[in-house]
Amino acid sequence: MSRYSSVFKDEIKLDINYVPIQLLHRKLQLKLLNQFFRFTIENPGKMTQRALIMGNIGTGKTVLSQHFGLSILKEAKQRKINLNYIHINCRECKGSLFMILQRTISRFYPNFPRRGYSAEELLQALMQILDDKDAYLILTLDELESLIQNEGSDPLYNLSRIQEDRINSPKRLSLICILRQDEPLEYLDPSTRSTLQRNIIRLPDYSESQLEDILAERVNLAFMDGTVPPQTLSLIAELGDSEQGNARYSIELLWRAGKYADASQFREVTPECVRNAVASVYPVIRRDLIVELSLHEKLFLLGVARYFNQTDSAYVSMGDAEESYALACEEYDQKPRGHTQLWKYVKSLSTTGIIETMVSGVGQRGKTTMISLPRVPASDLEQEISKIMSQKGRYK
């Protein structure tokens, strides 16, 4: 029997959903968040608040909000205040206010009926539940882009307006909204946009040295002593820095490098393990994200990947992408969607970081949307989508 033992001591500390006890290099932003929502434990019910957290992928937006949620809930419990923090990913809810409210209410009543209500009725029901329980709620809407693109201003307007209509009642609902860039806010009506932009917390990209600090902390928590040498940490930090200071990417690289060390029965996570990990990790895109795309989003992305596999071009025009998508539809016996729907797919995929878009410039006849695939090898993406499409039950 082999006497080899794993380099890991607690892999959970490298999980994407793990919230560290201390939040490195985000103390100022955490203090701001606490200041914005201090009233919820000092004067509950007296006012409501809305805050916006913005930053690139891997800058710690989600973990900042979740860390804040855990800390403020602990203080509220000590003060015997019935405060709740609920974190909802809008993309997982398909950009639907109805599904967001359904998930929120289920935290209070798991068996609440899933049918028979409109989104407006669910919102009224949520407020009634908060009144009945004398409870307060900080609702965090992560990946807000998805909700705005799908339903526009109405959801945020309704979430804000319901508080304004409760003149003589306690203010029970506050919002934290998380998104990457300012652009989706342009689709909101001026009053809603103005309200959201009142309290903005912008997260800068992590520097290489900051990434190394974050990785070192995770190594202490997740790995056996002496199994991750300094040169390995430095290499991962350098790679993370090349991806706009992406801490999420860096931590996933660290985990995968550890897996390669275990598979090779190494006593240390060597730089070669990191290089092997780089070849198997998408900097931005996770396989589960691709799986969750709709059928025609997968087909469109498949068409784009195949186009780049067959040409040396850096960009594909919207027209050429539609033609390639139509061929993919024919292969999978699907009727192609129209231009308007495909444009929605492009906007949705661009918010996830899978593709990027730009408007054609000088030298082009007219203006057209140009699509690029900057961070993922087209051959790997095509192979991954084809594999997912071939699996039973992936059509949706």
Provide DSSP, 269-298. Answer: --HHHHHHHHTT--SS--HHHHHTS-HHHH
Residues 80-91, mean pLDDT to the nearest whole number: 97
Question: What percentage of the chain carries pLDDT values higher than 70?
Answer: 93
Q: Answer yes or no: are the C-beta atoms of 122 and 173 closer than 8 Å.
A: no
DSSP assignment string, 220-234: HHHB-TTSS-HHHHH
Judged against a pLDDT cut of 80, whether residue 288 lies above it is answered with: no
- What's the CATH fold of domain 27-203? Rossmann fold (3.40.50)
Q: Which two tokens stand for residue 138?
A: 């900080």
Cα 126 from chain centroid (whole Å)? 25
Helix (H, G, I), strand (E, B) or coil at 146: helix
Sorted by sequence, the CB contacts under 8 Å of residue 354 that are 6+ apart come out as 284, 285, 289, 290, 301, 373, 376
Q: What does the alpha-carbon distance between residue 234 and residue 249 come to, in Å, rounded to a whole number?
A: 14
Judged against a pLDDT cut of 90, whether residue 348 lies above it is answered with: no
Nearest to 354 by CA among 254, 309, 287: 287
Across 259-268, 271-280, 303-312, 357-366, least confident range: 357-366
Domain boundary assignment for the chain: 11-15+207-278, 27-203, 287-390
Tell which wins on pLDDT, 390 or 15: 15
Residue 92: CB atoms within 10 A of its CB come to 14
Judge: domain 287-390, CATH 3.40.50.1820: no
Residues 361-375, mean pLDDT to the nearest whole number: 67
Judged against a pLDDT cut of 90, whether residue 269 lies above it is answered with: yes
Per-residue pLDDT band for 183 (boundaries 50, 70, 90) equals: confident
Q: What does the alpha-carbon distance between residue 287 and residue 318 come to, in Å, rounded to a whole number?
A: 25
Nearest to 324 by CA among 341, 312, 340, 336: 336
Judged against a pLDDT cut of 90, whether residue 186 lies above it is answered with: no
For β-strands 50-55 and 200-203, DSSP reports them as parallel
* Reduced DSSP (H G I as helix, E B as strand, rest coil) percent helix, strand, coil of the chain, to 5: 55, 10, 35
pTM: 0.73
Question: What percentage of the chain carries pLDDT values higher than 90?
Answer: 67
Per-residue pLDDT band for 3 (boundaries 50, 70, 90) equals: low
pLDDT on residue 361 = 54
What kind of architecture, by CATH, is found in domain 11-15+207-278? Orthogonal Bundle (1.10)
Residue 362: CB atoms within 10 A of its CB come to 4
Q: What does the alpha-carbon distance between residue 247 and residue 204 come to, in Å, rounded to a whole number?
A: 12
Tell which wins on pLDDT, 369 or 82: 82
Q: What does the alpha-carbon distance between residue 77 and residue 81 come to, in Å, rounded to a whole number?
A: 6
Judged against a pLDDT cut of 50, whether residue 170 lies above it is answered with: yes
